[in-house]
Amino acid sequence: MAEIITGSLFMYIFKEASRNAYNSNRREDGFRENVLNCFGFNLPHTDTSDDVLRELSPGELEALKAHLVSGLIEQKFFHKFRFLNQSYLVAIDATGIATFKHKHCDHCLTKTSKSGVVTYFHYVLEAKLVTSTGLAISLASEFIENDPGRDYEKQDCEQKAFVRLAAKIKKYFPRLPVCILGDGLYPNNTVFDICQKNNWQFIITLKDGNLKTFQQEVGLLKATVKKQDVYRANKTSRTTLEYEYLNDIEYDGRYFSWVECRETVIDTKDKTTSGQRFTYITNVAQNGQKIVQTADSGRLRWKIENEGFNSQKNLGYELEHKFSRVSFIAMQNYYQLLQIAHIINQLAERSKQVIVLLAEHSKQTIVDLWRKMMAYLIFSHAEEISLAPSLPD
């Protein structure tokens, strides 16, 4: 079992893109020998692994992932990235992983176009620990899926899945101090209740249409708003960040804080000006010391989209590739293995050895290094290889 799981995991660590690509490397005698020599396991054929991944309960790999991440948290690996030296920033977001023209399984979500064409698809809701340095580490994943017995009209959705995802985070990380980062779908009483019950902080995007009475209250109190300005300059631009906050704003019997950041960027070369506005609701009471870190942490939410989903779709992991065309169970297991591999690779790509290699010359990219590593594993002789692991900074 260890060989089958590790072999499937390495399909993603090697960024093989498909089971076919992996099998073709596996046919090389040198590759099989080198993998055995370096990592201590035989490479299984992917058909063998696939049979197992169709049967294995997806909870097993989710628990393995949580166990690995818990180990990193216990070693204080993410300690310096905590919000206000206290809680871990956990971004929540959903992404599509597969679309089909035919019904793929009983759990597919469906969408009917105006012309009556039905599309079948799968979505997953993720909770990822994010850092200002660009790490996006999967804590828990919840598939948004239809229950075969349920009413066709009432499909599962992101908000319902969040309730289950929050329960998973609590189950696997019961004592972890958490600060939830969510987009404009998340300012609602269900989310506020869950955060209150679990003793979690939150910084959630407030869109203009969200929580009307809360925003009206903010409008009435605008004259009393507290402000803080920050200026940042570099060779090409000058940035002004105007932070504003209000505490004790009532919403449905509870009191929250309102936070806004207006960013103005002046390009010093072509003299153009651009601006953005970010508004949040938070249960972290604000003051002059906390406001900047609160608004800047709120903005880290996009890391789940960029460093999380985009990397997994476009940088070799092929999140949207159909690793299993028939089995919903296998699809979930491949998804979990991809998450674990992505965690391992993010840490490997920040290790001292890799950073030294990347600094050698500007054309040396992560994609290049992975290609060279694969070539080395395929063509070199086993006894020449020695891999000394080291922890990243």
Interface ranges with Zn ion (CB under 5 A): 104-105, 108
CA 187 to CA 254: how far, in whole Å?
Answer: 13
Q: Which is nearer to Zn ion, 107 or 170 (CB)?
A: 107
> For residue 56, what are its two tokens?
């294995």
Closest approach, Cβ 156 to Zn ion, in A, equals 12
Q: Which of 105, 284 has the CB closer to Zn ion?
A: 105
**CA separation for the pair 73, 303 (Å, rounded):** 19
Nearest to 66 by CA among 178, 174, 180: 174
DSSP H or E run through 254: strand 254-267
Residues sharing a CB contact under 8 Å with residue 185, sequence separation 6 or more, in sequence order? 158, 159
| Helices vs. strands in the chain: H and E counts, helices first | 14, 10
> Do 180 and 298 form a contact (C-beta atoms < 8 A)?
no
Q: Least Å distance between CB 153 and Zn ion? A: 18
Q: How far is the CB of 227 from Zn ion (least distance, A)?
A: 51
Minimum distance from residue 53 beta carbon to Zn ion (Å):
15
User: Which is closer to Zn ion, CB of 105 or CB of 165?
Assistant: 105
Cα(74)–Cα(77) distance, rounded to whole angstroms? 7
CB of 147 to Zn ion, least distance (A): 12
Q: Between residues 129 and 144, which has the closer beta carbon with respect to Zn ion?
A: 144
Partners of 181 in the beta sheet? 91, 203
Nearer Cβ to Zn ion (44/58): 58
Q: Quote the CA–CA distance of 156 and 290 in Å, as a whole number.
A: 37
The nearer residue to Zn ion, 105 or 340, going by C-beta atoms, is: 105
When the beta carbons of 244 and 318 are compared against Zn ion, the nearer one is 318
**Nearest residue (CB) to Zn ion, 324 versus 345:** 324
Distances (CA, A) of 176 to 97, 180, 298: 28, 12, 19
Instruction: Give least dist CB 258 to Zn ion, A.
Output: 41
CA dist., res. 233 & res. 329, Å (int): 51
Least CB distance to Zn ion at residue 328 (A): 5
Closest approach of Zn ion to the CB of residue 50, in Å: 16
Residue number, 105 or 140, with CB nearest to Zn ion: 105
CA distances to 45, 73, 192 from 82, rounded to whole Å, are 42, 11, 21
Q: What is the C-alpha to C-alpha distance for residues 393 and 373, in angstroms, rounded to an integer?
A: 22
| Nearest to 334, CA basis, from 53, 99, 71 | 53
> Cβ 329 to Zn ion, closest distance in Å?
11
| Beta carbons of 127 and 90 less than 8 angstroms apart | yes
Hey, what are 354's tokens? 């890799």
